[in-house]
Chain A
Amino acid sequence: MSNGDMNAGEAVGVRGVWAGYDGRPALEDVTLDLKRGALVAIFGPNGGGKTTLLKLIANLIQPWRGEVSVLGAPAGEEARRVAYVPQAELVDWSFPVSVWDVAMMGRYPALGVLRRPVAADREAVGAALEQVGMASQRNAQIGALSGGQRRRAFLARAIAADPELYLLDEPVTGVDLTTQEDLMELLTNETNRGRTVIATTHDLAAAAEHFSTVVGLNHRVIAVGRSELVLDPDVLSRTYGGHMLVLQDRAVILDDAHHHDTESGGEHHYHEEGAKRR
């Protein structure tokens, strides 16, 4: 599938988009073109609109104004070629499913309503778990896994879906360094095959080291370009604004990884799962 056509053209086009929650804009007049085969990191401060942008591309929310096209069609029309992995805290980890079950869910949309998983689906799921290094944990309940293993299981679900476009919300937040390296190597391989990966991140070091394209976002697109941009003090200060402090030529970003004041519409976060439920 690595013919020239796959690499040509646009994966995502965002034109003049305004979007937000409860009348408060999270994105203001955002325009962005991302090419197929790109490995894109979206970085920026808390509440700067990173997750909102990802959800627009995933067709999980609608723009107030402007247009979003994905894989050459209006957002949502090519949904089966898109795999979305939410932030870890949006998942109910006490849910009674195994690693295998989670990865198999990646196959459900393409299977359709009446078909059950067949040998080809089991093969794809087995291969995906192999790729993320979770084959030996396939029967484990997801709540029994470490943070890194949980990310691996969800990436296996995305890989099992065989998507053209990966949308990953904070894929390397809160995972160990080995997992981070493994996941980034996998994603790099996927983009080398012409797949497109768009991830949000708080981790500027990871963005600079692993991604081919970075987007600085603070309600507006501050900068788009090669990964070295995240090391540019000018770009950093314009992206993080008041969230950044310059101390003796070193930029310190005052931004914790836990990124929001309130849950956005319809979301339930599972931080205090143990405390709340039992």
Chain B
Amino acid sequence: MLGPITDPLAYAFFQRALAASVMVGLVCAVVGCYMILRGYAFMGDALSHAAFPGVVVAYLLRGPFYVGAAVASVATALAIGWVARRGGLRGDTVIGVLFAGMFALGIFLFSLIPNYVGDLFGFLFGEVLGIGPGDLVALLLLAVAVLSVIAVLWKELLYSTFDPLGAAASGLPVERLDYLFLAIIAVAIVVSLQAVGIILVVAMLVTPAATAQLLTRSFGRLLAISALIGVVAPVAGLYISYWTNSASGATIVLVETAIFLVAVAAGRNGATRRPAALQSSEVAQPAR
């Protein structure tokens, strides 16, 4: 009776895929909570696409793909900050320019490689079933690194996200925390690339946290609900993908999206909407 559940567990590749996608789901869900509160959803999308040329260069040089991805993502994150400051442009404008530019560079480099089509699909959409034992160890180390940094700096990250002016005035290194957080996003993306691929990483980062935000107004519960979704959705997605022989990364993302839609439909609409409406009318009010 439990055959559909237990049968795939006999395969080592399925066990590794399960372990990898749960780690990816958890890391992304935790990082995603800070991301959506900072308004960095678009930034996450940009940094994942920006990893592409790094992956291609690593492939051409026969180096580890995650080093190339990390270098390209972090460099783009720093460049976004630098160009925005230097050019006096809005952050999202600069993100739009550099994100497309880096992705185009990746495709350009890739098109120079003969017979590239099959691999391109893997880079863009992930191949969690192809994760090897060595990849799994690297993934585990990176996941532990990201979660440890957040465990140590959770309150500084929270304060500087909520009120950067108040935090900076009382001595927190807000600018350095900001760069550190961008680096954390970049590493989370690198961790996720093999599992879900460049295009879908942003869903792993944003969707669990967005779902949690529909259901709670407490930061602790936001983290807990997001992490729970981040762990459960990959397991469900991977089984569905096994049973239906569908693309694993996309199935995981679809499960997360489905949970999000259920939360939208069933969520306490009044509780989540009313404060926002209340606040805009109050703030717009002249003082006296």
A residues with CB within 8 A of B: 22, 55, 58-60, 76, 79-80, 82-86, 88-98, 101-102, 105-106, 108-109, 111, 113-114, 116, 141, 143-144, 146-147, 157, 161, 163, 167, 173-174, 202-203, 256-258, 268, 270-275, 277-278
B287 within 8 Å of A by Cβ?
A: yes
Binds A, one of B10-18, B96-104, B120-128, B272-280: B272-280
Given contacts A60-B165, A95-B162, A96-B222, contact A109 B172 (CB under 8 A): yes
> How near does chain B come to A146, taking the closest CB pair, in angstroms?
7
Given contacts A79-B170, A79-B171, contact A114 B152 (CB under 8 A): yes
A-B contact pairs, 19 of them (CB 8 A): A22-B88, A80-B171, A83-B169, A85-B166, A93-B275, A93-B276, A96-B222, A97-B162, A98-B217, A105-B158, A105-B166, A113-B156, A144-B275, A157-B166, A174-B285, A203-B287, A268-B39, A270-B280, A272-B284
Task: Point out the residue from A85, A203, A274 that lies within 8 Å of B288, measured CB to CB.
Answer: A203
A163 to B170, CA, bound (A): 9
B169 touches A59 (CB 8 A): yes
B41-72 contact mask (Cβ, 8 Å, vs A): 1 or 0: 00000000000000000000000000000000
Given contacts A84-B170, A94-B275, A97-B162, contact A173 B37 (CB under 8 A): no
A95 touches B286 (CB 8 A): no
Given contacts A22-B88, A84-B169, A143-B278, contact A96 B219 (CB under 8 A): yes
B residues with CB within 8 A of A: 37, 39, 88, 152-153, 155-156, 158-159, 162-163, 165-172, 213, 216-219, 221-222, 273-280, 282-288
**B residues in contact with A141, CB < 8 Å:** 217-218, 275
A109 touches B287 (CB 8 A): no
> How near does chain B come to A97, taking the closest CB pair, in angstroms?
5
B283 touches A270 (CB 8 A): yes
B170 touches A90 (CB 8 A): no
